[in-house]
Amino acid sequence: MKKVFIDGRAGTTGLRIYDRLSGRHDIELLWLSDNERKNTAARKEMLNKADIAILCLPDDAAREAVSLIENPEVTVLDTSTAHRTKEGWAYGLPELSADHEKNIINSRRIAVPGCHATGFISLVYPLIEASVISADTLLTCHSLTGYSGGGKSMIAQYEEDADELLKAPREYALGQTHKHLPEMKAMTGLTYDPVFCPIVSDFFSGMLVAVSLFSQQLNAGKTTDDVRRVLQEKYNGPLIKYCERIDENGYISAAGLSGKDSMQIAVYGNEQRILLMALFDNLGKGSAGAAIECLNLKLGIDRTTGLDL
């Protein structure tokens, strides 16, 4: 039975992963008491004792955790931003291609994608791969997220603060320096960073990522039907599925898949202006669910084991 250690179990993502894994009988969960979980020596012991270590830590702490691992047999799943574009790390979005899945299965270092990036890359990568759009296409992305994406401090702010301004959506990363931009560019093969507009709102979890296209941005001979066809052919699995519609009466709620580990993709708009939409949970396919899917692939079992679809 494989041993799994969650370093950072007390955080938002760590708690969701622990909740998903704690009832399973095919793995042994290693854990530290609250008194020990910040003790470097105790963490090092567990990190080297585990077959698979899942890091749910800030970037610098994740880098430190990797440096503590001396056992070459340990597989690391890192949910932070620290290693997502680093050479030697597999990118944990297996639905992109057979090669992506193979890299995850064969690697001992796996970077779990960022939540916003997961939606953007899932929408854009197949279109560049199929030459529906070019790598030098200038793109704009809006992403609406629940406040759990900001971790414990933001959760406390929304759930304990009486500030009326928190009741309305808030756009952030106004300087166009969001930490997910490097992976959004690198993993799609884009020449230029997209204009990225993340928005946090007063609901706990859920995410709706939208990428807009003008028909003039499609390569010669390509149409909206080609966009739909490519995404439909790419995504017909249990965790990412193309849907003809994901709205209800013309509205799409970003909380529509809250609590779930799956993603729904749809194409809206018309022949001139195209809207690519990805609906999922920022804590599901956007973090914890993605980490567990990669864990399952490493274990050689059904990728959906322990997930809520």
Active site residues: 115
Count the Cβ atoms, other than its own, within 10 Å of residue 127.
26
Count the Cβ atoms, other than its own, within 10 Å of residue 85.
15
> Is 144:208 a contact under the CB 8 Å cutoff?
yes
CA distances for 39 relative to 7, 36, 44, 56, 75, angstroms: 11, 5, 9, 16, 21
* Token digits of residue 42: 């105790």
Name 101's Cβ contacts closer than 8 Å, sequence gap at least 6: 94, 95, 297
Q: Cα–Cα distance between 264 and 239 in angstroms, integer?
A: 8
CA distances for 297 relative to 5, 93, 102, angstroms: 17, 11, 9
